[in-house]
Structure 1
Amino acid sequence: MQSGKRNTKGSVVVESFRKRLRLSLPRQLFNGKQKYLTLGLDDTPGNRQIAEAKAKEIERDIQGNILVPGTFDYTLNKYRPESFRLVEAEKSEYPISLNEIWEQFIEHKKKISSPSTMRFQYRVFSNYLSKLPTHDLEKAVEIRDWVLSNIPPESAKRFIVRLSACCDWAIESQIITNNPFKGMSSKITIPKSQKNDDGEINPFSVYERDLIIEAFRSNKFCSKYSRVKHSYYSDYVEFLFLTGCRPSEAIALERKNISSDFRYVTFDCAVVLTDNGLAKKSGLKTQEKRKFPVNQKLKPILERVCEGKNNDDILFPSPQGKTYIDTGNFRNRVWKPVLNGLGIEYRKPYQTRHTFITLALENGLDAKDVARLVGNSPEIIYKHYAGNKRDLFVPEF
């Protein structure tokens, strides 16, 4: 008999269940049915000695049962004081493990997803899954805690979203009846990088901005084997630079958000990550909506992306069609290679917003007007941008 693990056939195992000790009895004694003898003892070193002594006593009687029939007491009354009780194995709510469901889920996704999606998204998630300390669906909270402790926050949230989607699919497929990851991702808050700290506002110069836009339009650093050319995203990238909107606001835009005369863009929604993947939500981060005036540089882009679209069509759809751009995929597979190819210091696409704000201030736009254009408060613009828009100098009085 070894505490906490099963060894030879007929052995009695001391286990800790919910911080209390119990004895796991051999299945062959009860026609293959698992039964436990609960001891009513906390899991402490002293109590484990008591439990192990009781386990050895039962094992001796089991062995004696072979030579001397009747030695083992099948009623177990011989082995338990009043505090002991016999319980049958608790039936798990989940008849299948997470990794088994995931394998079936992946096979399902292969039928409806592109090879690149499977290679760049689900291969990563499968790798995360293989490292989990348990695949027991009853331990979903333990899985979540491990994920949050071992995977970067944004990736951790995406992974939990995919696990929830996997379980939703398993429910639809009548494999399980409950999703233990349901709602978990919405409670995971990604720590805000100090976007408004001086050190985090690192805008591109006009020269860098124009190099980036041109590299996208010309596919300068796009692999010849790439299924989706970088130029597919060129209007999206230039739109970010020319409006200073948040990427989540840009990818939520539909044809109806552009006025018929192409004079205004109305931002009133954002795309967020939910349990069911990317979804549009009404309202913006700091306001319900805002109108952005279109200049002559932006107008031809809007005319181009609106051509042939109906009111509810996404303005900047993903390459897969009528779905939203996955900003994580875009950043890693497209944005990063372009910046690396140009030899430009890496900065996240969100810096397009900082670039617009900084250039607007440097070109004489009042901080209050810039705040209205980008949906920030004037205080934020004054504190984090206006005060740093030019080098300080001491005039000669």
Structure 2
Amino acid sequence: MSDLELPKGITIHRDKLRIAFRPPNEKNQWKRSLGIPPTKANIKAAEQMLNAIRRDISLGQFDLSQYFPNDPSLKKDERMLGPIIREHFIKAKKGRVKGSTHNSYSIRAEWVIENYGHIDAANVSPKEAMELREGIISKSPSPEIATFRLWLIRFAVTRAVRALVLEEDRFGPMLDSVESKSKALTLEGLRKGIEANEVFTIDEAERIVKACSSENRKRLVTFLFWSGLRPGEAAALRREDICLPYIIVKRTLTQYGDEQSPKSGRARKIYLPSSARLALEQELRSHDSERAWVTSLGKPYTSSRLFTTKHWKRILDKAGLAYLAPYTTRHSFASWMLKAGEPESTVAAHLGHTDTAMIRRVYGKFIPDAKPVWTLDDPKKVEIVKNSMISKS
């Protein structure tokens, strides 16, 4: 045995061959026993395996489970962002999209894995999630590419929650789309919270609705303002989810057309104020589609992008208002609820947040000192909100 020549990275431990290698983002080497005796043939096989591992590491494609499927550390490793993206995005998309599209997806996913695959998705802190978002935005050449990278993480994490690999999605709104002209979901914006000039007042919302060119659009914008749903949740809403005055938010539609669970990973039942109910009822009577909301051509939306930037800007220009992203309809609704005195827990549950921490951090400036239990369904209280918020005009 002493006459055997061992290549670098291969040792003998307890009469068995052991290899050593350093995965990406690891300070120390990993040592793994191969469980085979140190014969010349086995040493050659060990060297081939080690070279393959080193090649995968250099290409950013290393997956421990491919070489050591029964490794005890895999229970923890499967909750790391890298394995989650490989298993629940790259592997999940194979066969569901064209080969060329899958190759493009894989290249972009590997970039995320190389830079952020070491993050423990099961225990990521709010600060780490914000830093991930800020890092992806700063390193991406455009908001569109940053949005895609954030989306693929959300897709993978959502599927991991469904597969019970993760208990919950701990990234929250840190994986939302990037709006180049809105700071509401940047690291700085979330730390400072949303300002009064970063939401629409009720008067401004009414002007926006009037500026829409069709009745279909007017109903949709009204619903978005008065339901607080994310655009993707509105696009994915089905007739079977509706039992007015309540709806069940079971799913969302991504900007790439994938239907998946809401960001929280679970469905929620919400109450619709009268303005949202009326708009929804009128829309349902206007078509026979299974989806609640359809385009002006009567076809279901194929993504969460209900408005192009150009179209939305044209509506705001007609209303005489400065540009704020379409997602601002949701922020506006949240600010109205808080201004009307709704409890923070009620607002959090309606928006789909697991607790009130996000509400306080993002919408804290709209929380009044006194908290009478009012409702936006009460016309008198709506007038109070109207009069307390000055239009930007």
- Fold-level similarity (TM above 0.5): no
Q: Work out which structure has the larger RCO, using CA pairs closer than 8 Å and 6 or more positions apart in sequence.
A: 2
TM-score by length of 1: 0.44
TM-score by length of 2: 0.44
Q: Larger radius of gyration, structure 1 or 2?
A: 1
